[in-house]
Structure 1
Amino acid sequence: MRLFFSCLFLVSFFNVFSQEETKPEIKPVVKIDSLYREDQFYVLVVYNAIMKGPDGIKQDRFSAGLSVGFLRDMPINKDRTFALATGLGLSYKNYYQNMTITGTKDAPVYNVVDYNDINKNKFYGYSVDLPVELRWRNSTYESYKFWRIYGGMKFSYVMFDKSVFNGDGQTVKIKNNPDFNKFQYGVYLSAGFNTWNLYAYYGLNSLFKSSARTPTEEVDIRTMNLGMIFYIL
């Protein structure tokens, strides 16, 4: 009988001990992609500044630009901190200034006038963009927040352009002016952290062909775009 109670006590002790044991936590397996790319959609908002043009040309209102597009990332080093990228985008740009475009589409006339003679004066265009850039970033496959410096060239083809002049008792609208340069290109740089990045672009060729002239000189307008670019994975 004593042996029976001793065995029963031992069985109860081991049963209580086994209930106090905790099962090991099973953690989900995280698959790490060491061959990541920073393929990105982008949204660009800029101010369009005229840096060079006919004597007396000025801007009196905010000239805005908006671009959207996609960039394909191609890393070129083992750590994937350097890369090349190219993509495709669409842009809208307008320029409020005091160089009027009157006459007709086949015979446009260019004059720099006083603002007192203008109610409204601008030209704008829509283009397809092809950016090609060299990239540096300190990103890793574990973090989507990082510092970046991207720079390169952008080539644009203007699909549609229009000028609007209202003043001096007349309104003149000219679409697809043959004096506009359809093919435009320039250099740009963007830098920042995570989604927020500063952006600057300088056009290397004129917005107008050499055939566009005021009474005294060629209409050689070069522009700079300054603003913010937002990258979205």
Structure 2
Amino acid sequence: MYFKTHMKQSLNKKNHLKLFLSCFILLSIFNAFSQETITLEDASKVKIDSLYREDQFYFGFTYNTLINKPDGLSQSKLSTGFSLGFLRDMPINKNRTKALASGIGFSYNNYNQNLAIYKSDQAPTYSIIDSETSFNKNKFSQLLVEVPIEFRWRTSTYESHKFWRIYGGFKLSYLIHDRSIFEDDQGKIIVTSNKDFNKLLYGAYISVGYNTINVYAYYGLNSLFKSAKIEGEPITMKSLNIGIIFYIL
């Protein structure tokens, strides 16, 4: 009887020991797995942070005005513009809240005004349409390839793309197509590839906003025309374009 009782106690002790060892091993494995998961998560965060950029597609709409206008020139209708392109982001600080960016895009600008552009002996001529002359349409439009170069400040993180931003910089634009139209009851006069337009335009711009939508302004630093004159006086009009711009990752 004593022998049986002793055997049962020994077996119970062994079973308890096995159970204890099994729990210890399971807990050790679970703890190691948890540590590995946390380590992988942390490594993933570091990896994402190290690659974080604000490369963006952009498109914008502007209201176009003319400054340095010749005497008598006015804009009677709404003049609009459209732009789109891509910017490559290059962070310059550890938190990636500051960056440089450059890219390429296209812009199309209309200018409705009362500067008539005709072609006489294959050379463009210019005159101000007086208030007593009736016409249906008078405008010139330009299609340009643009290269923006900007400095960026933002409050973004790799976890959120909703942030405040101030982007400002310099833009070079190359004129690839132009078209002037004068239309009245007698018909249309269309002039294209006007050699008096400046082929290379440049100016400063700024965009300010939150998340996708931002206020945008561009100021041309050189004249739209390089050699156009009205009665011997050079036309030195520049553009001032104000509107909104959208950034999409």
Structure 2 counterpart of 1:130? 147
Q: CA deviation at 1:140?
A: 1.1
CA distance in 2, matches of 1:205, 1:134: 21
- Check if 1:161 corresponds to 2:161: no
CA distance in 2, matches of 1:61, 1:189: 25
Structure with bigger helix share is 2
Structure 2 counterpart of 1:100? 116
Q: CA deviation at 1:105?
A: 7.8
Across the aligned residues of Structure 1 and Structure 2, the Cα RMSD in angstroms comes to 2.7
Larger radius of gyration: 2
Q: CA deviation at 1:114?
A: 2.3
Structure 2 counterpart of 1:120? 137
Percent of pairs with identical residues: 51
CA distance in 2, matches of 1:172, 1:54: 22
1:6-37, Cα deviation, whole Å (9 max, x unpaired): x9xxxxxxxxxxxxxxx99x989653211201
1:56-84, Cα deviation, whole Å (9 max, x unpaired): 11111111111110000001111111100
Structure 2 counterpart of 1:143? 160
CA distance in 2, matches of 1:204, 1:37: 30
Structure 2 counterpart of 1:53? 69
Aligned pair partner of 1:198 in 215, 228, 235: 215
List alignment gaps of at least 5 residues for structure 2. Answer: 13-29
1:182-210, Cα deviation, whole Å (9 max, x unpaired): 1000000001000010000000001001x
CA distance in 1, matches of 2:205, 2:120: 35
Moved over 6 A (4+): 26-29
CA distance in 2, matches of 1:140, 1:105: 61
List alignment gaps of at least 5 residues for structure 1. Answer: 8-22
Number of residue pairs matched?
222
Structure 2 counterpart of 1:43? 59
Structure 1 counterpart of 2:25? none
Structure 2 counterpart of 1:215? 231
Q: CA deviation at 1:169?
A: 2.9
CA distance in 1, matches of 2:120, 2:185: 17
Aligned pair partner of 1:63 in 79, 83, 87: 79
Q: CA deviation at 1:106?
A: 2.8
